[in-house]
Amino acid sequence: MPAAPDSPRHRPVKDPVAAMPARRFALAALAVILLILGGGVGAGIARGGWQATPKLALDLEGGTQVILTASSLDGRPIDAATMEQARQIMSDRVNAIGVAETEISIQGGKNIVVDVPGRLDEKTSEALRRTAAMSFRPVLAVGDGTAGASDAGGASDAVPPSTTASVSPADGAAGGASDAGGASDAGGASDAGGASDAGGATDGGVPAWSPEQLTPAAQTIFTESTCADPRALAEQAETAAPTDLVVLCDEAGTTKYLLGPQSLEGAGVADAKVAPATNSQGQATGGYVVNMTFTSDAASKFGALTTALYNGEGATGQFAMVLDGTVISAPQVQAPTSSSASIEGDFTQESAQLLADQLRFGALPLKFTVQSEQQISATLGSDQLEKGLLAGLIGLLLVVLYAIAQYRVLAAVTTASLAVMGALAYGVITVMSNMPEIGYRLSLAGVAGLIVAIGFTADSFIVYFERVRDEIRDGRGIVSAVDHGWQRASRTIIASDTVNIIAAVVLYVLSTGGVRGFAFTLGLTTLLDLLVVFLFTHPILQVLARTRFFGKGHPLSGLDPNALGRDLPAYAGRGRVRDSASRRRRDAEEEPFESLAERKARRAREEAEARSASATTTDEEGTK
């Protein structure tokens, strides 16, 4: 038999100093974490207008959720940048309509989930489904978008530097005369006439870029337009035919453009890439350009446009790239080009990348189909939350009761651990839902995940306690059983939790909607489970093992060696009963002898038991 390592009679009840730091450190770390979380939530509520409770998802709060799935027009795989473009465009449209608190997010690669509080009106619904289109149009006039009724026509001097860009053949050969200062030669636009009205179709014979497109009516409309509501202009442009003139704004809403009929569709762009800018000697200047290439069909149209603009046949020397009713770039033509073009300008790497992404997206816009549109009334939502919480409470109560039945007073550790877990989960979820960058919302599936986590968390305590009991059954003293049991159990717990975390992360990354909400809480609670077991349950059990009640295996402690089939006198049985008496007789001369006597008796008993038991074992072995 392994000898019992500890003898309570001779050891002070107080903790040995040597083993203190790890325990203390763990508990202190946990206290710090709890304080930071609690303080963070408290400060957030006091100062930042946070809510004390986590924000709720639509299925608990009521509202409408629309899930749209993207499909590319030619079946190409959809990349993340394209989805982000689509999300941005959708978000701009919905914000323009003015639906408060609409959340649009990309989930599971090719789904866009739109959460709208309340009901979804027809207009918003339409704005979500519409495919974004890109077109190339010649610029007929440029104006200051912020001024109400600015001068029309040749308002080119008002062009802010941010919109200046120029286009030249992508090889960079041309472009010596690159003066990106503005469309100064566009002044001639004002003397044009001929086309009937701004919205009307042009005569077949007039080129799209011709100053003749600039009718007085068109100029009046252009003069009256402002960029105060760029989306309104964009909405109008959406309904206009490709042959109509349109007034549109740039992304910043500072510049307005009067654009001629569409010269070519966005689909003509074969690719768009960011490249470092070079000067005429081919040396890098440190700036960036966006290189576009065109399909052969589009190249001839683009060639015609740039040639005409370069030769001064246009109302201005600029053309505009319009994506979803917004002018994303309006470069000045530096040289005629056809199959490829290089857009130069005051780009940073990010702005160049953004433009390239926009061009690529516009070349192949995503088509969205509504997968589902679900409404949940606010009353049903609160009903579900209430019942969900009730289920959680009952589940928690049952787990605690079962733990008490199995582990007696040790169940207090389970309960306290679950309480710490609950506090941590509340803190983390509240912080994450209040931080605007994360904006987590608790859904019904998330609540279910939290409740299920009660059981899974308690499982790790069971694995630990049972392991400690095994060590006691093997004859270890309680303090050492806790330490050895922990070494084994912690491995099991880490392995199991790793599996759960993998499951949660994989599900979160690869799925949509409800699955995500569930995966999030599952992953979060698993992480918190690890934290609680390492920083609370184990240190607390270590501390408790050094108290008389647990350390000497009181029958109600759940670690009673007698109940676990160990009545070794050396560490528990007799010693505990006689404890107070033996304390007075400090020298304890006779103790070892008594232990030996006990031991002999026990050995005899065990051997007898062994013989009878081995008989049955051998029988079974024999029949095999």
Site for other proteins in 480-499 (CB under 8 A): 480, 483-484, 488, 491-492, 495-496, 498-499
437 binds other proteins (CB under 8 A): no
- What the block records as the tokens of 13 is 């009840």
Our finding on whether 373 is near other proteins (CB under 8 A) is yes
Q: Does 610 bind other proteins (CB under 8 A)?
A: yes
Give the shortest CB-395-to-other proteins separation in angstroms.
3
Candidate segments 127-135, 194-202, 305-313, 399-407, binder of other proteins by CB under 8 A: 399-407
CB–CB of 398/85 below 8 Å?
no
Phi, psi for residue 71 in degrees, rounded to 5: -140, 140
Residue with tokens 């960079």: 172
Query: Binding to other proteins by residue 607, rule CB under 8 A?
Result: yes
Residue 511 interacting with other proteins (CB under 8 A) = yes
- Residue 544 within binding range of other proteins, rule CB under 8 A: no
Per-residue DSSP letter, 536: I
Choose which of 53, 105, 377, 547 interacts with other proteins (CB under 8 A): 377
Q: Is 567 in the site for other proteins (CB under 8 A)?
A: no
Q: Are strands 319-323 and 165-168 parallel, antiparallel or unpaired?
A: unpaired
465 φ/ψ angles, rounded to the nearest 5 degrees:
-60, -45
Interface with other proteins (CB under 8 A), residue from 131, 283, 349, 372: 372
- Give the binding range for other proteins (CB under 8 A) out of 78-86, 290-298, 422-430, 609-617: 609-617
Piece in contact with other proteins (CB under 8 A), picked from 143-151, 250-258, 428-436, 616-624: 616-624
Measured from the CB of residue 496, what is the shortest distance to other proteins in angstroms? 4
Comparing CB distances to other proteins, the nearer of 376 and 413 is 376
Answer left, alpha or beta for residue 108, where phi above 0 means left and psi between -120 and 50 means alpha. Answer: left
Q: Which of 372, 407, 379, 333 is nearest to 560 (CA)?
A: 407
Among 105, 279, 547, 618, binds other proteins (CB under 8 A): 618
Stretch that binds other proteins, among 171-179, 217-225, 533-541, 596-604 (CB under 8 A): 596-604
Residues of this chain, 404-423, that bind other proteins according to CB under 8 A: 405-406
Q: How far is the CB of 62 from other proteins (least distance, A)?
A: 9
- Compute how many residues bind other proteins; rule: CB under 8 A: 120
As a whole number of angstroms, the distance between CA 594 and CA 130 comes to 90
User: Among 67, 83, 411, 424, which residue interacts with other proteins (rule: CB under 8 A)?
Assistant: 67
Q: Is there binding between residue 529 and other proteins (CB under 8 A)? A: no
Q: Which is nearer to other proteins, 28 or 588 (CB)?
A: 588
Q: Is 88 in the site for other proteins (CB under 8 A)?
A: no
Under DSSP, is residue 72 helix (H, G, I), strand (E, B) or coil? strand
- Options 549, 592, 601, 604; binder of other proteins; rule CB under 8 A: 592
Contacts 24+ apart (CB under 8 A), 116-125: 116/63, 116/64, 116/65, 116/66, 117/58, 117/61, 117/62, 117/63, 117/64, 118/62, 118/63, 118/64, 119/64, 119/375, 120/64, 120/66, 120/373, 120/375, 123/97, 124/94, 124/97, 124/99, 125/66, 125/373
Using CB atoms within 10 A of its CB, is residue 369 exposed (0-12), middle (13-18) or buried (19+)?
A: exposed
Q: Which residues contact 177 (CB under 8 A, 6 or more apart)?
A: 334
Selected from 52, 350, 565, 585, the binder of other proteins by CB under 8 A is 565
391 near other proteins, judged by CB under 8 A:
yes
Nearer to other proteins, 315 or 450 (CB): 450
512 close to 67: Cβ distance less than 8 angstroms = yes
Distance CA 358, CA 265 (A): 14
Residues from 217 through 236 that contact other proteins (CB under 8 A):
none
CB-facing half-sphere around the CA of 296: CA atoms within 13 A: 0
Q: Which residues contact 292 (CB under 8 A, 6 or more apart)?
A: 170, 269, 271, 272, 340, 341, 342, 343, 359
Return the HEC string of 544-577: HHCCHHHHCCCCCCCCCCCCCCCCCCCCCHHHHH
- Of positions 142, 165, 570, 572, contacts other proteins by CB under 8 A: 570
Q: How far is the CB of 42 from other proteins (least distance, A)?
A: 29
Residues 477, 539, 553, 569: which binds other proteins (CB under 8 A)? 477
**Least separation, in Å, of the C-beta of 121 and other proteins?**
13
Contacts to other proteins from residues 115-154, by CB under 8 A: 119
Across the beta sheet with 165-168, the strand order is 269-278, 284-294, 340-345, 165-168, 332-333
Site membership for other proteins, residue 327 (CB under 8 A): no
By CB under 8 A, which span of 179-187, 420-428, 463-471, 577-585 interacts with other proteins?
463-471
Stretch that binds other proteins, among 10-18, 257-265, 314-322, 357-365 (CB under 8 A): 10-18
Judged by CB under 8 A, does residue 105 bind other proteins?
Answer: no
d(CA 174, CA 172): 6
597 binds other proteins (CB under 8 A): no
Decide: is 427 part of the binding site for other proteins (CB under 8 A).
no
Distance of alpha carbon 91 from alpha carbon 74, whole angstroms: 24
Tokens of 567: 């009545």
* Distance from C-alpha of 364 to C-alpha of 82, rounded to nearest angstrom: 9
Q: Does 451 contact other proteins by CB under 8 A?
A: yes
Residues 586 and 580: their CA atoms lie apart, in Å, by: 11
Residue from 36, 173, 390, 438 in contact with other proteins (CB under 8 A) = 390
Site for other proteins in 188-217 (CB under 8 A): none
Query: Considering the complex, what minimum distance in angstroms separates the CB of residue 541 from other proteins?
Result: 13
